[in-house]
């Protein structure tokens, strides 16, 4: 099949977009600018400002001197890329192979598509006409190569459709900038008086390589079709969603279970092919009265195990209210993750957190008692106890350091230390007894003190002297005194955790 490409150039991409949202800007010159090293530089200008000599890269103060009434608008970070991507997705109706040509263009591989519109002329006309009707000033060209189409769309003064195998003739009268060369190479060509492509295209390749580098030869070969140019296609993300309409409204739990099972089989088959698994999934039922009922599940480990996912949904089917009946079921995996391939074990071992059965157990527990009640903690690089642990967001998270084992640490640490009343000898002796929640605990065994200083680079305050104590019932606690002993009985004591 003969390769054919279309390049689209949005001459005033951002300013056209702004004019569509603020129609009053269509009749006045305005620019979009961004602060750079203390100067306000113009990044885009509309056609009226361009006709008065304003160009991108100019300092806004100079533009103000040329046109005192010009309006200067701050650039929205990332808006250009998002807008170009949105236009690219809109153009997928013309071809499935589209690439972004930042900052203001699109590349379309239209091989085998033009005949659906009655020919190349009507195909290109439809693209340009519809984009212009939306308010965008565009130029487009069609050729055998991306380089030739790009050159003609921006610098060509002839017809925009370059016939098959005629790209060389179309390139000859164009300036060197049409080859997408670096500014430094263009400057060298200009100094040598080489103002058109025809003035150097027939020179020996060794001469061109020595004077201008391999990049220039590559651009020439790409434009002439002697070398293929790779592009990164823009493909819209296909949602992980499956739909199941029902011939008659479903009102029973058994019918809903069957729908869940079928949808999971369809969804998991695709996930298995792509090596992915569900982390969050939503099952929706569209009732005949117009209302939508839904249930959501989450997993600790990405999974495409149909049986396991069905068991999670089964726990919540009773919460759905089908009312007069559900006529459409939709299952969507709103969050998916890659499932790394695992080597099968040759003998039974201790898989630990990597065991999928553990993750499935946690999922079932979360479905029954709530995901917010199950936590996994990892050590963190802090001395201060409150900061020495962090909550893991995934069962796959790996600790960056080992748990501290040289000093006793409680299994349960309070989020905030709680104030207690203590009777203790002085100085630096552990408590003899303490009162916590109106209950007196007599200390039988104790160890300490362990002094933990505050992390002064994060906050100020007093240090803590911690004691590991055991009461008359064998229960163990982690207590501390805040600051040095002061002798007047005003020291504050706190309980901070409980040992197993």
Residue 313 lies in a domain: yes
Residue 229 lies in a domain: no
Neighbours of 43 (CB within 10 A): 16
Range of weakest confidence among 147-161, 239-253, 345-359: 345-359
Range of weakest confidence among 270-274, 404-408, 487-491: 487-491
Residue 326: which residues within 8 A CB-CB, separation 6 or more? 246, 249, 250, 251, 256, 259, 285, 286, 287, 288, 293
Of the candidates 266, 349, 348, 346, the residue with the CA atom closest to the CA atom of residue 310: 266
The three-state DSSP-derived secondary structure of 391-416 is ECCCCCCCCCCCCCCCCCCCCEEEEE
pLDDT at 359 over 80: no
Determine the Cα–Cα distance for residues 123 and 116; give it in Å rounded to an integer: 8
pLDDT at 356 over 70: no
Q: What are 15-45's pLDDT values in tens digits?
A: 999 999 898 898 899 999 998 888 899 999 9
- Indicate the pairing of strand 71-74 with strand 30-36: parallel
**Of residues 89 and 377, more confidently modeled:** 89
Per-residue pLDDT band for 246 (boundaries 50, 70, 90) equals confident
Residue 370 lies in a domain: no
The answer on 102 and 175 residing in a single domain is no
**Of residues 412 and 143, more confidently modeled:** 143
Task: Count CA atoms closer than 13 A to 316's CA, side-chain side.
Answer: 23
CATH code (residue 250): 3.30.1490.100
Residue 231 lies in a domain: no
Residue positions counted in the chain: 500
Neighbours of 448 (CB within 10 A): 19
Range of weakest confidence among 144-153, 265-274, 344-353, 371-380: 344-353
Mean pLDDT over 408-422 rounds to 86
pLDDT at position 344 is 42
Q: What are 189-237's pLDDT values in tens digits?
A: 999 999 999 999 999 999 999 999 999 999 999 999 999 898 888 866 5
Determine the Cα–Cα distance for residues 386 and 492; give it in Å rounded to an integer: 18
Task: Check whether the bond before 174 is cis (ω within 30° of 0).
Answer: no
The answer on 147 and 191 residing in a single domain is no
Q: What are 473-486's pLDDT values in tens digits?
A: 899 999 999 888 77
Q: How many domains does the structure of the chain reveal?
A: 4
The answer on 205 and 112 residing in a single domain is no
- Indicate the pairing of strand 492-498 with strand 476-482: antiparallel
The answer on 208 and 250 residing in a single domain is no
The answer on 283 and 417 residing in a single domain is no
Determine the Cα–Cα distance for residues 170 and 156; give it in Å rounded to an integer: 8
**CA-to-CA separations, 474 to 389, 410, 417, in angstroms, rounded:** 26, 15, 21
pLDDT at 347 over 50: no
- Indicate the pairing of strand 5-10 with strand 105-109: antiparallel
244-268 burial, b if ≥16 CB within 10 A, otherwise e? Answer: eebeebbeeeebbeebbeebbeebb
Residue 25 lies in a domain: yes
The answer on 103 and 43 residing in a single domain is yes
| pTM summary value | 0.52
Could you tell me if 239 and 276 are in contact, meaning their C-beta atoms sit under 8 angstroms apart? no
Determine the Cα–Cα distance for residues 315 and 366; give it in Å rounded to an integer: 11
Residue 388 lies in a domain: no
Which alpha helices (DSSP H) does 275-369 contain, by range?
306-314, 356-369
Of the candidates 388, 482, 494, the residue with the CA atom closest to the CA atom of residue 436: 494
Structural domain harbouring 192? 165-224
The answer on 150 and 13 residing in a single domain is yes
pLDDT at 382 over 50: yes
**Of residues 403 and 221, more confidently modeled:** 221
Residue 387 lies in a domain: no
Per-residue pLDDT band for 487 (boundaries 50, 70, 90) equals low
Structure tokens at 445: 């065994």
The answer on 186 and 119 residing in a single domain is no
pLDDT at position 223 is 94
Determine the Cα–Cα distance for residues 41 and 29; give it in Å rounded to an integer: 16
User: Rounded mean pLDDT of the chain?
Assistant: 87
The answer on 260 and 184 residing in a single domain is no
The answer on 145 and 10 residing in a single domain is yes
- Helix (H, G, I), strand (E, B), or coil: what is residue 215? helix
Task: Count CA atoms closer than 13 A to 159's CA, side-chain side.
Answer: 11
The string of DSSP letters for 423-488 reads E--TTTPPPSEEEETTEEEEEEEEEEEEEE---TTT-----EEEEEEEETTS-EEEEEEESS--SS
The answer on 13 and 56 residing in a single domain is yes
């Amino acid at each position: 099949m003969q390769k054919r490409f279309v390049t689209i150039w949005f001459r005033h991409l951002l300013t056209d977009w702004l004019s569509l949202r603020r129609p009053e800007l269509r009749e006045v010159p305005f620019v979009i600018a961004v602060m750079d090293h203390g100067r306000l530089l113009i990044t885009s200008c509309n056609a009226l400002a361009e006709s008065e000599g304003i160009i991108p890269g100019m300092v806004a103060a100079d533009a103000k001197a040329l046109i005192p009434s010009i309006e200067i608008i701050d650039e929205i970070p990332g808006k250009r890329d998002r807008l170009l991507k949105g236009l690219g997705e809109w153009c997928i109706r013309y071809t499935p192979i589209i690439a972004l040509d930042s900052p203001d263009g699109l590349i379309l591989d239209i091989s085998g598509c033009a005949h659906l519109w009655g020919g190349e002329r009507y195909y290109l006309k439809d693209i340009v006409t519809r984009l212009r009707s939306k308010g965008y000033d565009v130029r487009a060209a069609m050729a055998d190569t991306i380089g030739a189409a790009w050159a003609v769309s921006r610098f060509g003064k002839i017809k925009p459709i370059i016939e098959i195998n005629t790209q060389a003739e179309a390139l000859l009268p164009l300036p060197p900038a049409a080859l997408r060369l670096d500014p430094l190479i263009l400057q060298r060509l200009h100094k040598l008086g080489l103002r058109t492509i025809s003035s150097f295209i027939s020179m020996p390749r060794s001469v061109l390589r020595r004077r201008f580098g391999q990049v220039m030869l590559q651009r020439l070969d790409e434009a002439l079709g002697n070398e293929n140019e790779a592009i990164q296609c823009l493909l819209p993300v296909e949602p992980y969603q499956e739909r199941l309409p029902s011939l008659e409204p479903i009102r029973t739990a058994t019918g809903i279970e069957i729908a869940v099972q079928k949808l999971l089989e369809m969804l998991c088959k695709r996930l298995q092919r792509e090596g992915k698994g569900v982390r969050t999934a939503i099952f929706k039922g569209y009732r005949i009265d117009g209302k939508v009922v839904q249930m959501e599940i989450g997993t600790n480990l990405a999974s495409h195990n149909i049986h396991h996912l069905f068991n999670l949904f089964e726990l919540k089917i009773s919460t759905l209210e089908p009312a007069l009946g559900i006529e459409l079921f939709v299952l969507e995996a709103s969050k998916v993750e890659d499932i790394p391939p695992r080597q099968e074990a040759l003998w039974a071992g201790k898989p630990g957190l990597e065991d999928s059965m553990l993750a499935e157990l946690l999922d079932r527990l979360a479905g029954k008692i709530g995901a917010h009640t199950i936590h996994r903690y990892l050590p963190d690089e802090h001395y201060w106890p409150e900061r020495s642990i962090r909550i893991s967001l995934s069962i796959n998270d790996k600790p960056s350091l080992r748990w501290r084992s040289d000093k006793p640490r409680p299994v349960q640490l309070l989020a905030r230390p709680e104030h207690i009343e203590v009777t203790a000898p002085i100085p630096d002796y552990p408590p003899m007894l303490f009162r916590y929640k109106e209950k007196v605990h007599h200390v039988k065994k104790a160890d300490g003190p362990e002094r933990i200083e505050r992390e002064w680079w994060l906050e100020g305050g007093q240090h803590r002297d911690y004691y590991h104590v055991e009461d008359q019932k064998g229960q163990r606690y982690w207590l501390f005194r805040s600051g040095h002993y002061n002798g007047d009985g005003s020291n504050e004591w706190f309980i901070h955790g409980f040992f197993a």
